[in-house]
Amino acid sequence: MKIVVIQGPNLNMLGLREQNIYGPMKLDDIHAQMETYAKQSEIEVEFFQSNLEGEIVDKIQECVGEAQGIIINPAAYTHTSIAIRDAIKAVQIPTVEVHISNIYAREEFRHKSMIAPVCAGQITGFGPFSYHLAMVSMIQILSEIKAMQEAQNKQQASQQ
């Protein structure tokens, strides 16, 4: 199984920008922790970061047939991007939205996510640990899907 982690604008600046909100951890460190956990669970993980909305949409579309799950931090696009929302909805791949900061404890314009309604769930406010929680959640979602498919296959086989 493969999970693609998509990072939105300015996340490449983690460790440098607004440490009082995002902490000192760099994106590469977050990815290394996620990769370690994914390997323990025998999951392949791919990381992608872009500051450009269209590139994020392209990456989501590229996941079709390649990935079983998506973890996305759309960053500022969370609150503005119908294009990212539509791409997630179109690919029909289980997706978890993740944020380092608690977007609901910040400026009012950050309280509305355009992305959350088309995701399996949203994790927000646990600092870099939010990504670990997103990975745990995605692995659980994929395990449930696999179990459901196996049960359906058994039922079909017994009916033949």
Encode pLDDT of 42-63 as tens digits: 999 999 999 999 999 999 999 9
Tokens of 36: 């370690």
Q: Residue 19 pairs with which residues in a beta bridge?
A: none
R_g over Cα of the chain = 16
Active site residues: 22, 99
Q: Residue 48 pairs with which residues in a beta bridge?
A: 6
Residue 123: strand, helix, or coil = strand
The residue range of the domain holding 65 is 2-159
Domains in the chain: how many in total? Answer: 1
The whole-number pLDDT of residue 110 equals: 80
The whole-model pTM stands at 0.92
The whole-number pLDDT of residue 68 equals: 97
What are the two backbone dihedrals, phi and then psi, of residue 8, each rounded to the nearest 5 degrees?
-90, -165
The whole-number pLDDT of residue 77 equals: 97
**pLDDT tens digits along 89-131:** 999 999 999 999 888 878 787 889 999 999 999 999 999 999 9
Nearest to 136 by CA among 34, 6, 1: 34
Distance in angstroms (rounded) separating the CA atoms of residues 139 and 136: 5
Could you tell me the CATH number of the domain that includes residue 40?
3.40.50.9100
Nearest to 114 by CA among 8, 1, 23: 8
| More confident: 16 or 70 | 70
